[in-house]
Amino acid sequence: MTKKILILLFILIPINANALIEVDITRGNLNPLPLAVSPLSIDEESRKGFEKILKEENIGSEISNIVENNLRISGLFNPLDKKAFLQAPDIANLKPRFEDWNLIKAQALITGKVNYIDDKLRVEFRLWDVLAAKEMMALAFTTVPNNWRRVGHIISDKVYERLTGEKGYFDTRIIYVSEEGPKTQRIKKLAIMDQDGANNKFLTLGNELVLTPRFNPASQMVTYLSYFKNMPRVYLLDIETGTQEVVGDFPGMTFAPRFSPDGKKIIMSFAKDGKSDIYTMDLENRIVEKITNHPSIDTSPSYSPDGKYITFNSDRSGYQQIYVMKNDGSDVKRISFGNGLYGTPVWSPRGDLIAFTKLHKGKFYIGVMRTDGSGERLLTENYYQEAPSWSPNGRVLIFYRETKTNSKGEGFSAKLWSIDLTGYNERQIKTPTDASDPSWSSLLSN
């Protein structure tokens, strides 16, 4: 079972409802909001206490670095250079001199304080509206010191939420497939890391081929495809305990697994006699249901967030296209009608869009369309890229991209990338090895 990580959260002062700054998340943000993330102040005794346990020289600065980095990579904020700051962290946290922060063009300011109390990490932080000279938010957390990175992510989420009006996505993890070795003999392992690339950990040894890990939106369980004993089957893995089990008892390859939004079912494909159909298995009573029944290839299923619909791709029209049906398999409707092939549909956690991979004239695209297929918008074009996965707030897509090899077949690489729903802010996510098949977790704390 999931080990509960306890983070106590206090609201220090009631939030001022009439704050002035607001970040519009819906357009491509070409003018990120300038803001100052002051290092969290720390007294010498606490600093030494944390240095001893965490091997970090100044945990106050480190936490503020996490916040600054998160806000920067969101593309919505422009954290200003700390060298320009005129006010010391401890004094700024008590009462910022707004003129000073105004002078360096900061529109928002984050200050805070870290304490080492009874072997616990206590962090308080405040968000200030510089122009209005008002406090927008003040919160405090108490947790075990080892959770310090998560505290940085939670602060980032709170700031993001306060300034954009939408939930953040920083206190999250990415599960993916780590890749090494030549293209013809790739060694693949499951790996997991924090959303910002920290705390990377390998979950399998690479003895067998593993593919397409996906998080359970309701817990820290993962479903994935493993070639254990050369039998490609869908497995279930508990990340906390490391226990794994095969899902269902199918006489052939099961693949393309995903959880239902409530985490109680796995939906996947089962291939037999040259046709692939979609099945679900209830994880509590183990009942298996056949959802599609067609001589074509039906795969890559994904539930709508309310669980009532399923999107998938099928080549029943002759070529790979995207379809939507009710969760019992009825009312199958094709929704992709543009030029080219469409695959890997994934329903947005907000419910309004489906992200997909498109192949047209030798190029691969990541795009989104409405759930009836209208409003197709291509976000990025490349030699090869596929398999988008949504951030839990439905604002960012993570996917993987492979490079073209040269005439000698050299130069292959696979990397994780992310892009905003707006089509802006495309960036590579650093991983210790090559990487593919990313899946974004839900927010760890709500």
Partner 1 sequence: MKLNKIFKNTLLVLAACLVLSACATKKEVATDIQGQMQGDVYTGTDTVEYLADGVPDRVFFATNESILTTASRETLRAQAAWLRKNPNINVVLEGHADERGTREYNLALGERRANAAKDYLMTYGISSDRITVLSYGKERPVDSGSNPLAWSKNRRSVTVKAN
Within 130-186, strands assigned E span: 134-143, 173-180
Residue in the block written with tokens 């976000």? 379
Phi, psi of 24 (to 5 degrees): -85, 115
Asked if 390 is part of the footprint of partner 1 (rule: CB under 8 A), the reply reads no
Q: How far is residue 163's CA from residue 108's CA, in Å, rounded to a whole number?
A: 9
Q: Which amino acid is at 217?
A: P
Q: Which amino acid is at 232?
A: P
Give, in order, the Cα–Cα distances in Å from 157 to each of 64, 195, 210, 285. Answer: 13, 12, 32, 37
Asked if 405 is part of the footprint of partner 1 (rule: CB under 8 A), the reply reads yes
In sequence order, which residues have a C-beta less than 8 Å from that of residue 122 and are 6 or more positions away? 114, 115, 116, 140, 141, 142
Give, in order, the Cα–Cα distances in Å from 299 to each of 96, 110, 350, 362, 372. Answer: 56, 46, 22, 22, 19
Query: Least distance (Å) from partner 1 to the CB of residue 191?
Result: 17
Comparison of 121 and 210: residue with beta carbon closer to partner 1: 210
Q: Which range touches partner 1 (CB under 8 A), out of 10-18, 30-38, 73-81, 250-258?
A: 250-258
Comparison of 238 and 315: residue with beta carbon closer to partner 1: 315
Comparison of 109 and 322: residue with beta carbon closer to partner 1: 322
113, 40 Cβ separation under 8 angstroms? yes
Q: Which range touches partner 1 (CB under 8 A), out of 47-55, 182-190, 216-224, 327-335?
A: 182-190
Asked if 271 is part of the footprint of partner 1 (rule: CB under 8 A), the reply reads yes
Asked if 404 is part of the footprint of partner 1 (rule: CB under 8 A), the reply reads yes
Q: How far is residue 399's CA from residue 371's CA, in Å, rounded to a whole number?
A: 20
Contacts with partner 1, 278-307, as mask; x by CB under 8 A:
-------------------x-xx-------
Asked if 434 is part of the footprint of partner 1 (rule: CB under 8 A), the reply reads no
Q: What length does the chain have?
A: 446
Asked if 256 is part of the footprint of partner 1 (rule: CB under 8 A), the reply reads yes
Asked if 142 is part of the footprint of partner 1 (rule: CB under 8 A), the reply reads no
Residue in the block written with tokens 């049906």? 325
Within 305-362, strands assigned E span: 309-314, 321-326, 333-334, 341-347, 353-360
Q: Which range touches partner 1 (CB under 8 A), out of 63-71, 131-139, 234-242, 382-390?
A: 382-390
Helix, strand or coil, per DSSP, at residue 385? strand
Comparison of 171 and 437: residue with beta carbon closer to partner 1: 437
444, 216 Cβ separation under 8 angstroms? no
Residue in 357, 389, 393, 431 binding partner 1, rule: CB under 8 A: 357
Query: Least distance (Å) from partner 1 to the CB of residue 315?
Result: 8
How many residues bind to partner 1 according to rule CB under 8 A?
Answer: 47
Comparison of 133 and 205: residue with beta carbon closer to partner 1: 205
106, 77 Cβ separation under 8 angstroms? no
Asked if 269 is part of the footprint of partner 1 (rule: CB under 8 A), the reply reads yes
Asked if 409 is part of the footprint of partner 1 (rule: CB under 8 A), the reply reads yes
Comparison of 169 and 235: residue with beta carbon closer to partner 1: 235
Residues that bind partner 1 (CB under 8 A): 182-186, 209, 211-212, 225, 230, 232, 252-253, 255-256, 269, 271, 273-276, 297, 299-300, 313, 315, 319-320, 341, 343-344, 357, 359, 362, 383-384, 386-387, 402, 404-405, 407, 409-410, 412, 436-437
